[in-house]
Amino acid sequence: MKEAWGRWGDADERGALNLIDGATVRSAAQLVRSGRAISLAQPVSAAMATPKSRPGVMHFMNRDGGDYAAGRRRPGGFQFADDTILMPLHSGTHLDALCHCWYDDRLYNGFAATEVRSNGSSKLGADSIGPIVTRGVLLDFVALVGSPLEDGRAIGLDMVRAAMARTGIALRAGDAVLLRTGWQERSSAGAPVDFDNEPGLDVEAGIFLADAGVSLIGADNFAIEVLPFPEGTVFPVHQRLIRDYGIPLLEGLVLSPLAAEGASEFLFVAAALPIRGATGSPINPVAIL
């Protein structure tokens, strides 16, 4: 029996997002000061860096302005362009649904892994997530350390506490915690992207946040957790947070523009595409200051 299993009923598919209630949303809305809305998403394109294990994004135009230049005409003067995308659901800035990973053949809340088949998952899919509206809290490790964290640097409990102390606020149930490690901005500054090495949470720090009642953990790296993994483990933070605590993970965030605003708390809104039975979704989360 795992930490969050059964906590919101045997049929629950939303996990820690249940920690957000009307009061959470109301108080988060009161954080709006300047009215600036900041996107936390990377642009999506075929040029995005992609890990070896996943195909890249493809963007196809079914109709475009070139067709009209080439002589096509439409009745009524109407001209249009239209397109199709092929994208791995875990590319760029995306949310991991609770059916994305597990161990011992059981998903979050004890659902059988055999629920996840070739036509998608019948439980815990991206369509069961719903809009996420809550307080966002930025833990800025780049500011804490004075530079982007180096690859392989584990963010442990001490660092989390130190970053929290910098904010001057205390975590509350339902918070969405966003971790700025600097990995993404180093990459976008031109360094080649290495998906096998990155700074990120260690298991102890992950569980600390989970026990504090966060509803969501996001980061500007590829996998929230430190890579490479501690010897003998594979994605141990994913295993514990997603499967045992029911916490969705939000990966590939762009956090430096938010950090530049200087605010540690803000209204956070993120709504995954409700793709039936999907293990994740591209997403464009918004911080409203």
Q: What distances in angstroms separate CA 194 from CA 4, 30, 186, 208, one per listed residue?
A: 33, 39, 11, 28
Instruction: Please pick, from the candidates 3, 67, 150, 204, the single residue that binds its own copies as defined by CB under 8 A.
Output: 67
CB of 162 to its own copies, least distance (A): 29
CB of 166 to its own copies, least distance (A): 26
Tokens matching residue 278: 């999907």
CB of 119 to its own copies, least distance (A): 7
CB of 254 to its own copies, least distance (A): 10
- Please count the residues of this chain forming the interface with its own copies, following the rule CB under 8 A: 106
Distance, CA of 144 to CA of 67 (rounded, Å): 53
Site for its own copies in 26-55 (CB under 8 A): 26, 29-30, 32-39, 41-47, 54-55
Query: C-alpha angle 108/228/2, rounded to 5°?
Result: 20
Site for its own copies in 235-254 (CB under 8 A): 235-236, 238-239
Q: Give, rounded to a whole angstrom, the gap between the first and last alpha carbons of the chain.
A: 40
Distance, CA of 16 to CA of 4 (rounded, Å): 8
287 bridge partner residues: 38, 268
By beta-carbon proximity to its own copies, the closer residue of 10 and 105 is 105
Instruction: Please pick, from the candidates 16, 87, 214, 217, the single residue that binds its own copies as defined by CB under 8 A.
Output: 87
Site for its own copies in 251-280 (CB under 8 A): 267, 269, 271-280
- The kind and range of the H/E element at 185 are helix 183-188
Regarding 110 and contact with its own copies (CB under 8 A), the answer is: no
Look-up: residue for tokens 């992609």?
50
Site for its own copies in 170-199 (CB under 8 A): none
Q: What distances in angstroms separate CA 74 from CA 64, 69, 104, one per listed residue?
A: 13, 12, 58
